[in-house]
Structure 1
Amino acid sequence: MLLESRMSDRRKTLPLLAIVAGLVVAGLIGWGFWRASRSAPEVFQGQMEAKETDIAAKIPGRIAEVLVREGDRIAAGAPILRMASPEVDAKLAQATAAQQAAQAVAKKAEAGARPQEIEMARMQWQRAETAAELARKSFDRVEGLARDGLVAAQKRDEAEANWKASRDAAVAARAQYDLARQGARGEDRAAAEAQARQVAGVVAEAQAAKAETELRSPVAGEVAKVLARAGELVPQGVAAVTVVDLADQWVVLNVREDRLSRFAVGQEFDARLPALGPQSATARFKVTYSAPLPDFATWRATRAGAGFDVRTFEVRARPLQPIAGARPGMSVLVD
């Protein structure tokens, strides 16, 4: 009797379990259809970028020493590499010598004649004055004799010509003496000073070229790339080192224009960086730039029988607060 009772209870329980299992399966199928009917959440993916500075040499030369490595943190003005340039050294030596010569000429023009030269000019003038006075007295005697008829008129004329010549020679000697005392003319001094300034400019140019043989970073940041090696020739204007400023980062998103209203300039949105781990907090960004890309996105009709090409825009947004650990190239997801 007891066995028959248990078998009867089992017959009654099996249909009930079958009904429950069927309800569970039907519920799962319904839930699956409901999930499938819902549209998947749209996710925009971009990447972080940072300000990069390509540092190039202004003069060509051979690299003597590279002072930084990739990953180094450097400050503005830090030396990056040194170059050896014999041509710059030679130009600097030539310019320095020319400057010394120009300065000597300018000093000579400013100082004027030496004291010995001035004294010689004074003595020449006095001698000419004495000779002119003697010639005048001789002429006076000859003229008196000529009036008395004791000397021929020819002799008188010769004495007069000698006196006038001596007088003019004395005037010329006085002019030479005055010129020696006054020194060089103002125009000559100005020309010598201008020449000295011109050569000083050449020296400054050579010194500037010499300073460029030690390449320094104009910005602070992290060394991202070192493209130069010791012993290589660096052409003028070719980047040798790239420095990235991690304090100046932004995210770049490619957004289709029918979704662009969410990323208008000035709007803010939240995004996350998977590379920083699940524990990283969501960062807040603000759109600062928006412009169409040169290529068209996949054509998509907006309604039956008509449509337009949906363009893609490049959107840039900067974080409102610095993101610890963020680096260029990291993916950024916007739900």
Structure 2
Amino acid sequence: MRIPSALSLSLSAAALLLPLGGCGNDNGAFFQGYAEGDFVYVASSEAGRLTELPVRRGQQVEAGAPLFALDAERETAARNQASAQLAAAAAQLEDIATGKRPAEVDVTRAQLAQAEAASRRSATQLRRDTEQFRIGGIARSQLDDSREQARSDAARVRELKAQLDVAALPGRDDQRLAQAAQVEAARAALAQADWTLAQKRQAAPAAGLVFDTLYRVGEWVPAGSPVVSLLPPGNIKVRLFVPQAALGALKVGQQLMVSCDGCGAPIPVRVDYISTQAEYTPPVIYSRESRGKLVYMIQARPTPEMAPRLHPGQPLEAVPQ
């Protein structure tokens, strides 16, 4: 976030009026400017009512500290539904892979035992009727009936044995692949539901100062709307305005010493940007007098340890090291 334009204009105008001198030392060059912060605006991708705001303005927080929470009843229900659907799909895949249930197999085994007993009886009856037919004790029609019954009972035994073999087989490959795809789809839906639910609670992405809170508990927060603005120490920078005559002596990486009212000892900063365009210049022609009023904006950063001593909008003065 930039300092309001009115403040920038007033500070830059002051830099034009006082390009040299300062801090009670009229013999050394100094540059005027101000501190500025690159704020981190923490928001949720989901809308909701603000239910928790455990931080306050001016509080220092560590990375990972909870910042705010939105109501999550709908997202929790959606997550539970996705979890149940995944469990159902996985159970169905396991059922397909293992064949029939044990209880169903037990029923088939019992039927097979009955069929084998019936087959043994019909085979015994067939042997008796065959002997009776040889001695003329029964008609051929009775022998034919016994033979057909024995064949039928034996076929029933083979059928039930085949059913047991089939029950032990897994489902068809195409069926298993289709169900496996359903499981993956349910797993992806659960991951999405987890992510959406996690968006209802936001933590600090880095350690820093809670610069401002933009909503109160109970208010509705639209999706993507920042609730907390953070200022990590590494995001504090210094903007200075350098006269044209002094610009050639500065370079990126050069160290400056920054002073401000009530800051104590000067703070070292390093230049990381030098503007290529002059500011607050006459519209067309640069006369000799107007060239003396040209200023260039430079940007410098303090070390993270020194940064908390500076505050956005604070007027500063810097001298080359």
TM-score for both structures, normalised by structure 1: 0.66
Report matched runs for 1:118-267 at 5 Å. 118-125=105-112, 134=122, 170-180=157-167, 182-185=168-171, 187=173, 188=175, 192=179, 195-246=182-233, 248-255=235-242, 259-267=246-254
Change (3 A) 1:238 1:294: farther
Match of 1:286 among 270, 283, 292: 270
1:11-64 Cα distance to aligned partner (Å, 9 max, x none):
xxxxxxxxxxxxxxxxxxxxxxxxxxxx99764211112342110012111112
Aligned equivalents of 1:258, 1:186: Cα separation in 2: 84
Letter in 1 for 2:237: W
Is residue 237–residue 300 contact of structure 2 (8 Å, CA) maintained in 1?
Answer: yes
Partner of 1:322: 306
Q: Which segment is superposed worse, 55-64 or 239-248?
A: 239-248
1:167-195 Cα distance to aligned partner (Å, 9 max, x none):
66554432211122x15337455655554
Report matched runs for 1:99-114 at 5 Å. 99-114=86-101
Q: How far 1:291 sits from its partner (Å)?
A: 3.7
1:80-135 Cα distance to aligned partner (Å, 9 max, x none):
22221332132123223323423432443455433332233234445556777859
Aligned equivalents of 1:117, 1:62: Cα separation in 2: 52
Partner of 2:315: 331
Change (3 A) 1:302 1:246: same
Partner of 1:94: 81
Q: How far 1:77 sits from its partner (Å)?
A: 1.5
Q: Which segment is superposed worse, 118-127 or 80-89?
A: 118-127
Aligned equivalents of 2:80, 2:306: Cα separation in 1: 51
Aligned equivalents of 1:197, 1:318: Cα separation in 2: 49
Aligned equivalents of 2:46, 2:154: Cα separation in 1: 67
Partner of 1:59: 46
Is residue 51–residue 246 contact of structure 1 (8 Å, CA) maintained in 2?
Answer: no
Change (3 A) 1:294 1:129: farther
Q: How far 1:251 sits from its partner (Å)?
A: 1.0
Q: Secondary structure at the match of 1:120?
A: helix
Is residue 233–residue 308 contact of structure 2 (8 Å, CA) maintained in 1?
Answer: no
Give 5+ residue unaligned stretches, structure 2.
1-25, 134-138
Partner of 1:15: none
1:305-324 Cα distance to aligned partner (Å, 9 max, x none):
xx99x986442112367266
1:276-309 Cα distance to aligned partner (Å, 9 max, x none):
26xx3333332112344597733553679xx99x
* Higher-Rg member (1/2): 1
1:186-226 Cα distance to aligned partner (Å, 9 max, x none):
74556555544543443343233333322222121111111
Partner of 1:81: 68
Give 5+ residue unaligned stretches, structure 1.
1-38
Aligned equivalents of 2:159, 2:297: Cα separation in 1: 88
Q: Secondary structure at the match of 2:46?
A: coil
Is residue 292–residue 311 contact of structure 1 (8 Å, CA) maintained in 2?
Answer: no
Letter in 2 for 1:317: A
Letter in 2 for 1:269: L
Letter in 2 for 1:260: L
Change (3 A) 1:198 1:223: same
Indicate the RMSD between aligned Cα atoms, in angstroms.
4.3
Q: Secondary structure at the match of 1:90?
A: helix
Letter in 1 for 2:36: E
Is residue 263–residue 315 contact of structure 1 (8 Å, CA) maintained in 2?
Answer: no
Is residue 98–residue 171 contact of structure 2 (8 Å, CA) maintained in 1?
Answer: no
Change (3 A) 1:328 1:57: same
TM-score for both structures, normalised by structure 2: 0.68
Partner of 2:23: none
